[in-house]
Structure 1
């Protein structure tokens, strides 16, 4: 699979604010998925069924919308298929399935922490594969973000390790890193919405093979969601549109303006949103340690963004000149 990127990507330099806003809103959308989907699981749906419903429905909506309003998004050049397939299988289906296996065998906090080690993997890729030297302050910001994540996840609660669960959690981290790296490459060579569309189609095929959607039943069952009592099907529609279609679309679009190493750290806002929304709508406890962890995590993410902004401002590449950050 070729990951050769175009030499010039000036959008990053001129639209850092736009990229940051996109990835932060995407993280909010992603972070809401657990809170929206959990009532459906409490009503008897398995995590795999919820994943199949959210990805499958998002794929159908995107294909229909593109066919009606932007047919060019449905076209994929032969050279683009490796990235599209990798994005769909790893960044869409792989992240979901690995996380669900990890949650089934490990405490939720450990599973979340393992998946969200992806910024470290991306930083290592950037340093040793792309050959881009990261400053000590950047590494400090990544370290603070990971420490804050560990506090938010309260990884010491019910600590127990299972070999299969551990491998699944690390697999989720690799798939999450692939989502950012392949998304960064795909967004540079084609419309990000086209990449998300076909990524959803590929992901839907993979996930639905594991959990066929025709086995779904009880969609009209009423469940509790904060002060409301919606049917399960409405929650599945919400998680498909808000937490899947919009989340992936905004997140992948952000990679036109931010490198994967920065976007992945800013994406750590997701577990903070997940914890806060579960506290607000589902009544799940939120400890002072988790609040402190959220502050540390956000501080680390802000530090990474600050360093990136300074480096970008000092080293803006001229048009036609290759930037080290755009290397594969």
Structure 2
């Protein structure tokens, strides 16, 4: 790889509304992955095989698109490799593999709740690094976590498995890494380059766990049930790779150019809400009134965090504006 090229980092122009819209769209794309992929698993593929196909196809699409339209994204300086490898290991491969292990040993609702405790970890990390978060923001995070617990129905078949618990906590750490490393990469370089290389690193790891050549051809051609449609399994894998991976990661990482990780991760809690709603609409899975209540509480918590961040940004901009005349010669 080239080591003598200057950094090609686009100028950062933040826009809170744009960032919020991007992370909401990313949550919709991420949240649809389970609904799209589940029929493929019911047809005979393992979760690891679906993850390998999803990330592997996404990596191929991203690398090919970059090579044709933006080849400069494939040129990486030596000092950029730690960020790209960390993002790929944590934000791509780690989240997928840890979640699948947790879901295999714990109730799915508990596994989801453990993964999406990442906003708390991000808030703690932010606090440890010297940035004080308002008490109201902590309250919004807590409110969103309560809503998430209701949406995930964590009380259904609750059981404790040490390996599953550790894997669930690992998925939370990896999810926090996705937001924190994504924020750093998106604000110092090109988000699409970060996603492309991160996806390639993640694909190498996940495909080592579930090699693509182990995918059974008979299952790939079999019809699956997705609401009123009966697409072949291979079509679902392509859909989850393009919509729920390529588009989701690109939108989510681009949002981190405009929103801090502590805010984006709370808005990202919409993902399990979207997953529950799409599973109810397309797969016929039940949706209780408690889950609806949890959705309202979750959205309320996310709105509180967004509102606090908006006021903080306005105060910071006002402070800069007031300080400028004083500093002028």
Where on the TM-score scale, by shorter chain, does this alignment land: which range? over 0.9
2:288 matched to which residue of 1? Answer: 287
Q: How does 1:96-111 map to 2 (within 5 A)?
A: 96-111=96-111
1:119 aligns with 2:111: no
In structure 2, the residue corresponding to 1:195 is in which secondary structure? helix
Q: How does 1:125-140 map to 2 (within 5 A)?
A: 125-128=125-128, 130-140=129-139
CA distance in 2, matches of 1:118, 1:31: 16
RMSD: 1.3
Q: Deviation digits for residues 258-315 of structure 1, max 9, x if unmatched?
A: 0000000000000000000000000000000000000000000011000000000101
Determine which structure has more spread, i.e. the larger CA radius of gyration. 2
TM-score normalised by length of structure 2:
0.92
- Could you tell me whether the CA contact under 8 Å between 2:99 and 2:111 is conserved in 1? yes
TM-score normalised by length of structure 1:
0.93
2:186 matched to which residue of 1? Answer: 187
1:11 aligns with 2:13: yes
Gaps of 5+ in 2: 1-10, 324-329
Distance 1:208 1:10, change over 3 A: closer
Q: Deviation digits for residues 225-276 of structure 1, max 9, x if unmatched?
A: 1000000000000000000010000000000000000000000000000000
1:155 aligns with 2:154: yes
CA distance in 1, matches of 2:62, 2:127: 36
- Could you tell me whether the CA contact under 8 Å between 2:12 and 2:257 is conserved in 1? no
- Could you tell me whether the CA contact under 8 Å between 2:12 and 2:187 is conserved in 1? no
Instruction: Find runs of 4+ consecutive structure 1 residues off by over 3 angstroms.
Output: none
2:229 matched to which residue of 1? Answer: 228
1:37 aligns with 2:31: no
User: How big is the shift at 1:75?
Assistant: 1.1
CA distance in 2, matches of 1:35, 1:81: 34
Q: Deviation digits for residues 75-122 of structure 1, max 9, x if unmatched?
A: 111111101000000100000000000000000010000000000000
1:92 aligns with 2:92: yes
1:22 aligns with 2:22: yes
Q: Deviation digits for residues 27-65 of structure 1, max 9, x if unmatched?
A: 000000000000000000000000000000000001111
CA distance in 2, matches of 1:51, 1:141: 32
User: How big is the shift at 1:11?
Assistant: 2.6
